[in-house]
Amino acid sequence: MNYINKVMLVGRCGQEPELKYFESGAVKASISIAVRPPYRSEQALWFDLVAWGNQAEVIGNYVRKGTQIAITGEFGFDRWADKNSGTMRQKPVITINAIELLGSPRKEESTSTSAPNETQTVANANF
């Protein structure tokens, strides 16, 4: 039997991206996003995300704290040995396969005088 491991999320970035460059030339971006549940009274859900290669470069160049993004990716775990105790640790993480930039950080949206991005233009078009 085949199993599907696909995650789709829309939320706002909760931190500035953390980029790490490796000697091999690979690049990794780490961010977290807050996803608001359908009922505003509930607390946001937080997810840790990682991206590699071109996706990581896009995140490093265009995503800032507060940027609204949509991602598809795969659920997995980061695993490591605790430096002090040697105990194996793990945390859930989503590896990004595709990312779409949906909006600027909220504080910039209200003060920005630049032209709207393509997603905003399509969303506001009169059809």
Q: What are the residue boundaries of the structural domains of the chain, listed by start?
A: 7-124
**CA–CA dist 40, 37 (Å, integer):** 7
Please check the confidence at residue 43 and state whether its pLDDT lies above 80: yes
Q: How far is CA 81 from CA 19, 90, 93, 114, in A?
A: 22, 9, 16, 47
Residue 89 CA neighbour count, 13 Å, CB half: 9
Out of 2.60.34.10, 1.10.10.10, 3.40.50.300, 2.40.50.140, which CATH number does the structure's domain 7-124 have?
2.40.50.140
Q: 5-9, 38-42, 74-78, 110-114: which range is least confident on average? A: 110-114
**CA–CA dist 67, 45 (Å, integer):** 16
Q: pTM for the whole thing?
A: 0.74
Are residues 56 and 75 in contact, defined by beta-carbon separation less than 8 angstroms? no
